[in-house]
Amino acid sequence: MGKITGFLEYPRTADPSEPPEERVKHFNEFHPQLDVRERQRQGARCMDCGVPFCQSGIFLNGSFTGCPLHNMAPEWNDLVYHGSFEEAYKRLRKTNNFPEFTGRVCPALCEAACTCGLHGDAVTVRENELFIVERAYEAGIVKPQPPQVRTGKKVAVVGSGPAGLAAADQLNRRGHSVTVFERSDRVGGLLMYGIPNMKLDKSVIERRADIMRREGVCFRTNADVGGEVPAGGLTAAFDAVMICCGARAPRDLKVPGRESGNVYFAVDFLSSTTKSLLDCGLKEGTYISARGRDVVVVGGGDTGNDCVATCLRHGCASVTQLEMMPRQPVERDLASNPWPEWPRVEKTDYGQQEAIAIFGHDPRLYQRTVSKIIPDEQGNVKEIVTVDLEPRQENGRRVMVPIEGSERTLPCGLLLIAAGFVGTERYIAEAFGLETDARGRIATPEGGYATSVPGVFAAGDARRGQSLVVHAIAEGRAAAREVDEYLMGYTNLI
């Protein structure tokens, strides 16, 4: 805990934010941190709640609440309050390999479960976490710590996203020799090419990857396992293989005109911008551009919001975001959605805030989807036909069905599909001969990470389906424990 009466004395104060009209002019992070004294006050707000739900990581009424990593937030909040920043970092690293990632992109499940949030404002747990790790970097506390003893065991990790990096970090700490295979040209997976630079600057990923290299982890980029890198070569050369390749098979739109040009999956669009930004400073013609176009984004989640923000930075003429589901209430309904459940309320994220500032209205249209794509004479999308949806109960579950006669036409020069993912890409599972479930995920026993092939394990989105970075890190850590026990007969990883 922090100060006993801190939550009564100090109001919640979040990191400031650059005005939307200014930040859309660049791709840099736009949340400067509070000064040290104010951050200590925010740590002081952590109350003596008795049962810290913030670190529970439990599933309640259809969603997670509390930190899946079981971060010891009350302990390091107290250490921040008392100015013991190095010790705070040590406590933070015990449960989280990459607080510099989660401190930027996690939706803060911990704060949703914070006891202070029951009748007031939650503690700024995520921003406190980011402060701790960034101060540790500045102070030179974050240093390479290669293991003193090697076990002689070799592990291949397929995929360098958050699950793969966490697994590699844990297994390397244990003394195993770890090689991470990444099919892209840079390390990071989803972190590198799926999350825009203004949310997670890519130097942050490269900084951590460099430390891991100096600790002994080997990264092989441009290595497509299951493609030009045979899966059989890995199972023969390594004592264990872990599949952490994510859930990259996108959910498509099955509508007339889908074959039209300038229709892209969201991750392909976002990846092209990030790669161009890093390679050549966003040189014209090197990325999928929204400049001067009427953009429609299909999908109301985080990826859709990232597309909105990226299109604004390109200089789009307009942007519309289609959300299939009904609009959430502005305030939590305590009768049907009590604390500490995840609050099912409307969230206006940074991209939507920017669209409102630039165009004067919310870009989201709720209970609407695309029913038809109309191309121009060159075969590129010119317009889309949308249809309204209404919820109905079918076979005991709610589904959204079209309303007859509700069709409307919207101008569209770029259509981005951010409708989620349907599992891992089939060729990877097929290359290893792995079983998959009905949702396209690599099959493992409930609560376990071993696949149907001995010595091959799976973690992260490849196993659990599309999820959060914090869940991926938790999966990577848990799978590393299972791999370690498989290799050594026991494990001392936590």
pLDDT at 215: 98
The CA distance from 373 to 262, in Å, is 11
The pTM assigned to this predicted structure is: 0.96
pLDDT of the chain along its 494 residues, tens only? 678 899 999 999 999 999 999 999 999 999 999 999 999 999 999 988 989 999 999 999 888 999 999 999 999 999 999 999 999 999 999 999 999 999 999 999 999 999 999 889 999 999 999 999 999 999 999 999 999 999 999 999 999 999 999 999 999 999 999 999 999 999 999 999 999 999 999 999 999 999 999 999 999 999 999 999 999 999 999 999 999 999 989 999 999 999 999 999 999 999 999 999 999 999 999 999 999 999 999 999 999 999 999 999 999 999 999 999 999 999 999 899 999 999 999 999 999 999 999 999 999 999 999 999 999 999 999 999 999 999 998 888 889 999 999 999 999 999 999 999 989 999 999 999 999 999 999 999 999 999 999 999 999 999 999 999 999 999 999 999 999 999 999 999 98
Distance CA 342, CA 113 (A): 7
201-230 burial string, b = 16+ CB within 10 Å, else e? Answer: bbebbeebbebbeebbbbbeeebbbbeebe
Q: Residue 313's pLDDT is what?
A: 98
CATH number of 154-248+422-488: 3.50.50.60
* Predicted local distance difference test score (pLDDT) of residue 2: 76
One fold for both 6-138 and 263-417?
A: no
Q: Say which residues have a Cβ less than 8 Å from residue 430's Cβ, sequence separation at least 6.
A: 226
What topology is assigned to 263-417 in CATH? FAD/NAD(P)-binding domain (3.50.50)
Going from N- to C-terminal start, the domains of the chain cover 6-138, 154-248+422-488, 263-417
Which CATH number is 6-138 given? 1.10.1060.10
- Pairwise CA distance, residues 100 & 258, whole Å: 39
